[in-house]
Amino acid sequence: MANNLLAGKKGIIFGALNEDSIAWKIAEKAHEQGAQFVLTNAPVAMRMGEINNLAAKTGSEVVPADATSMDDLNNLFEKAESILGGKLNFILHSIGMSVNVRKGKEYTDLNYDWLTKGWDVSAVSFHRVMQVAWQREAMNDWGSILALTYIAAQRTFPDYNDMADNKAFLESIARSFGYQWGVRNKVRVNTISQSPTPTTAGSGVKGFGGFINYAEKMSPLGNATADDCADYAISLFSDLTRKVTMQNLFHDGGFSSTGVSEAVIERFEED
């Protein structure tokens, strides 16, 4: 239901690849709620995805940018402010990648060059995005900056591999930079720790189907879908959450607070 929660708000959305992307769903909901935004992704991802279809659907423009390149990010913010006619009210960072996961490397046998690449893409890029916005003074007061994460940053999921470390790094950056943004501009910075969701990136994790089924049985409300996550993100971009910052917000149907569920006990109980 559209009720113009984001009417007049302007932003940048990173990471929409196709209709399975959480960023795609967030862009659709933001458009429904009255926001204007620029869409961006790395050039290689844009060749693989369907971002231009999303741009047409939401009346948005696409500005390619590699989030690990300061030159690309400065160009992105300059063009976004020109296209949107002013400073930003929100930024979504929905970027994550592990070469080690893609290549099937075990956590006990990581390629450290690949590890560094994963840190840069998945976590340091969030700092880069905020640093460029900070130095350009690109955010309006009381704006909102949001990134997506997963509970493997706090708890061990063996097959999530070095992505767990990347997400822990991402969450720390949100807290550290969130303090600075809050003091200077009353901008809040948060992360959403989402249920396992069948996106293009998530589906590449070994045993991902098992993750989803287990989480569904553990969560009192069931897994949160990509559409559910989009609704939550909209609330965090809106003025309804002006005093929520530096938080890692679990959006997982109660999974993170459940020790064990009856469904899981029944599944493993011996006769």
145 annotated as a binding-site residue: no
HSE of 34, CA atoms in CB hemisphere, 13 A = 13
Tell me how far apart the alpha carbons of residues 56 and 60 are, in angstroms, rounded to a whole number: 7
Cα dist from 263 to 165, 202, 255, whole Å? 30, 24, 13
Q: Are strands 139-149 and 88-93 parallel, antiparallel or unpaired?
A: parallel
**Could you tell me if 76 and 70 are in contact, meaning their C-beta atoms sit under 8 angstroms apart?**
no
Q: How many residues does the chain have?
A: 271
Task: Return the structure tokens found at 108.
Answer: 């006990």
167 annotated as a binding-site residue: yes
257 annotated as a binding-site residue: no
128: amino acid identity, one letter: R
Please confirm, yes or no, whether 160 is among the known catalytic residues: yes
Among residues 170, 173, 182, 191, the alpha carbon closest in space to that of 242 is found at 182
Q: What is the CA radius of gyration of the chain?
A: 18
Q: Where are the alpha helices (DSSP H) in the chain?
A: 22-32, 43-48, 51-58, 70-84, 99-102, 112-119, 125-136, 163-185, 208-218, 226-237, 262-268
Catalytic residue among 112, 160, 214, 232: 160
217 annotated as a binding-site residue: no
192 annotated as a binding-site residue: no
Please confirm, yes or no, whether 232 is among the known catalytic residues: no
Catalytic residue among 112, 150, 214, 232: 150
Quick one: DSSP state of residue 195? P
Instruction: Output b/e per residue, 31-63; b: 16+ Cβ within 10 A.
Output: bbbebbbbbbbbeebbeebebeebbeebebebb
**Residues in the annotated binding site:** 15, 21-22, 95, 167
Active-site residue numbers?
Answer: 150, 160
Residues at the binding site for NAD(+) are: 15, 21-22, 95, 167
